[in-house]
Amino acid sequence: MLITIDHVLAKTEVRQLRQELDAASWQPGAATAGTLAQAVKHNEQLADGSELAVRLGQQILRRLAATPLFISAALPRTIYPPKFNRYQGGGSYGAHVDSALMFLPGSQEQMRTDLSATLFLAEPEEYDGGVLEVEGPFGVQEVKLPAGDMVLYPSSSLHRVTPVTRGARVASFFWMQSLVQDEAERTLLFDLDQSVQQFTPLLAPDDMRLVQLTGVYHNLLRRWGRP
C-alpha cells in the first residue's frame, strides 16, 4: 500500500527548514550506504547526528504525531530519526530495497523496517527529474509531491530516484517499525479505520453501528498488533 499524506508540514515550516538546509554542509550520500547501494547511490546527505539534523528531525516527528492519517496508516511502534538528502547535478539512486533491520542511532537497539517515508521539501517545479519510482503489485508508481507532502510505502518495495537534471531535490526520509508487521493486515486496519472516521460525524457517538465497527477495529488490532 502506497499512501500520500498532504500538508505534513505547512509551507511556512518548509521555508524555515529549507533556509537552514540550503545553508548547511552536505556530505556524499554513498558514505552511509550499504555495500551494494554504494554503487547506485549518487546524492548528498546531511551528517547524521548533527545538531541541525537532530533538531529538524524532531520538528518533523512532532508534526507526524499530530497527523491522524499518518498514525492510521503506519500504526508506528518505532520511527527512525528523520534524515535529509539532496539530489542535484544528475544525482540519482538506482533500484534498491531498504535494509530490513537497522540500529537506532546511539544504541544497540534494532528496529525492523516495515515502512519507508519520503517527505518532500522542494516544490516539483524547482527541479527536473528526481521522481521516486516504487514497484508494487500493479506496476511502477511514480511520486513527485509538493513540498510539505509525504509518501509512505512498504520498505520491502524495490524503489529508485531518477536523475535530477535541473535544480535540487531536497527531502527528509526515514523508516518505521509498525505495531502490525503484516502489510495486508495493516492495510485492512487502515481501510476500516478510515470507514470509522467517515461515519463518525454522521452518527451519534452511542449509535451501535459505530460502536460495533469501532469494536471490530480494536479487536483486530488487539489480535494483530505486537507492541
Residue 127, helix vs strand vs coil? coil
The verdict on 42 and 72 lying in the same domain is: yes
Q: Is 169 a known ligand-binding residue? A: yes
Confidence bin at 116 (pLDDT 50/70/90): very high
- Model confidence, pTM: 0.94
DSSP state of 29: G
The verdict on 37 and 114 lying in the same domain is: yes
Q: Is 186 a known ligand-binding residue? A: no
Query: Minimal CA–CA distance to 86: which of 113, 114, 120?
Result: 120
The verdict on 121 and 135 lying in the same domain is: yes
The verdict on 195 and 171 lying in the same domain is: no
Q: Are 8 and 63 in contact (CB under 8 A)?
A: yes
The verdict on 199 and 141 lying in the same domain is: no
The verdict on 24 and 94 lying in the same domain is: yes
Q: Are 174 and 79 in contact (CB under 8 A)?
A: yes
Query: Minimal CA–CA distance to 60: which of 195, 173, 196?
Result: 173
Spatial neighbors of 29 by CB under 8 A, at least 6 apart, are: 41, 42, 43, 44, 45, 85, 93
The verdict on 118 and 190 lying in the same domain is: no
The verdict on 198 and 102 lying in the same domain is: no
The verdict on 75 and 162 lying in the same domain is: yes
Residues 63-92 pLDDT 10s: 999 999 999 999 999 999 999 999 999 999
CA 49 – CA 44 distance, rounded (Å): 15
The verdict on 160 and 88 lying in the same domain is: yes
The verdict on 187 and 216 lying in the same domain is: yes
- Say which CATH number the domain at 196 has: 4.10.860.20
Please give the average per-residue pLDDT across 84-110, as a whole number.
96
Res. 223: pLDDT tops 70: yes
> 47 lies in which domain range?
3-178
Res. 35: pLDDT tops 70: no
If one counts the domains in the chain, the total is 2
Q: Is 7 a known ligand-binding residue? A: no
Residue 113, helix vs strand vs coil? coil
- HEC per residue, 159-195: EEECCEEECEEEEEEEEEEECCCCHHHHHHHHHHHHH
Neighbours of 213 (CB within 10 A): 17
Spatial neighbors of 88 by CB under 8 A, at least 6 apart, are: 44, 127, 164, 167, 168, 169
Last residue of a domain, one of 157, 178, 199: 178
CA 16 – CA 9 distance, rounded (Å): 10
The verdict on 152 and 188 lying in the same domain is: no
Query: Minimal CA–CA distance to 157: which of 170, 172, 138, 171?
Result: 138
Quick one: what percent of the chain has pLDDT higher than 70? Answer: 97
C-alpha cell read off for 93: 539512486
